[in-house]
Structure 1
Amino acid sequence: MSTTTFVAAAQAATSSEVLNVIAAFTGGLFIAGALVWAVRFGMRVMDRELPHPSPEEQPKLPAGGAVHEIREMREPDEVPHAEGRERLMPYQLHHSGSRTGKDQRRRRWLPGSSGSFGSGGLGHV
């Protein structure tokens, strides 16, 4: 390999490395500028929003205290058959779709009864 070929190859490699560094620096400047613009835009949007409520304007608990969850067992209502009539519309059904059950004891899972995987048997023994 002659000296002129080696020098030309070194110059080509150096110029492509310099171009890569310049491209990376330019890309970084572009991303940094975009981030600065996004932060300034977000600050302008926040300045236009309504102010946060003061502590006196915050919601208060009702006089009776906190509202608690009510748990009850429900039984399904029978859907009336529409034989010879037009089909029933949802607003023609009972408002909640079910009624309070007579037995309010919560059903529990019993070992040996049906589980989530098949018949509830003992499995492979």
Structure 2
Amino acid sequence: MKSLALQVAATNPAGVIAVLVCGLLIAGALVWSVRFGLKTRRREPGPPGRHEQPTLPESGPVHETRQMREPNEVPRASDGGERLTPHDLHASGSKRSENQNRRRWNSDSDRQ
């Protein structure tokens, strides 16, 4: 028994030609897209050179700093007074703590 594709090809040669033309069009589109991508890539700047890399400052590497922070209290509006506006609030939600010693957990108390 012949396969369906052979039967279609034997009865209708125009169908085979149409499939071949579509295959050639798809192959041509793929070749064109690869050539277009290569051409686009050639126009892009290359990776930065060794002399274009960032350098350390003369003072040496920058290290992280640790600070103990405490929350800024939100000012309260007086009774019957004007409401608070964004200008009345602090710029940051926390401030540097006076005590810079790290709190340690103690089983006898919450803070030490």
Q: Deviations over 1:59-78 (max 9, x none)?
A: 11101111111122210010
Any gaps of 5 or more consecutive residues in structure 1? Answer: 1-9, 114-125
Contact kept in structure 2, 1:73 and 1:106, CA below 8 Å: no
TM-score normalised per structure 1: 0.50
- Identity over aligned pairs, percent: 45
1:104 corresponds, among 96, 101, 106, to 101
Residues 1:103 and 1:47: Cα distance change in structure 2 (over 3 Å):
same
How far apart are 1:43 and its partner, in Å?
2.4
Identify the residue that residue 71 of structure 2 maps to in structure 1: 76
Aligned residues: 97
Residues 1:81 and 1:38: Cα distance change in structure 2 (over 3 Å):
farther
**What is the CA–CA distance in structure 2 between the aligned matches of 1:15 and 1:109, rounded to whole Å?**
87
Extract structure 1 runs of 4+ deviating beyond 2 A.
10-16, 32-54, 81-88, 91-97, 106-110
Identify the residue that residue 119 of structure 1 maps to in structure 2: none
Check if 1:66 corresponds to 2:61: yes
1:94 corresponds, among 90, 95, 101, to 90
Contact kept in structure 1, 2:72 and 2:92, CA below 8 Å: no
**What is the CA–CA distance in structure 1 between the aligned matches of 2:49 and 2:2, rounded to whole Å?**
67
**What is the CA–CA distance in structure 2 between the aligned matches of 1:53 and 1:44, rounded to whole Å?**
20
**What is the CA–CA distance in structure 2 between the aligned matches of 1:77 and 1:98, rounded to whole Å?**
5
Any gaps of 5 or more consecutive residues in structure 2? Answer: none
**What is the CA–CA distance in structure 1 between the aligned matches of 2:49 and 2:29, rounded to whole Å?**
34
**What is the CA–CA distance in structure 1 between the aligned matches of 2:30 and 2:46, rounded to whole Å?**
25
TM-score normalised per structure 2: 0.55
2:34 corresponds, among 25, 35, 39, to 39
**What is the CA–CA distance in structure 2 between the aligned matches of 1:95 and 1:50, rounded to whole Å?**
42
Check if 1:15 corresponds to 2:1: no
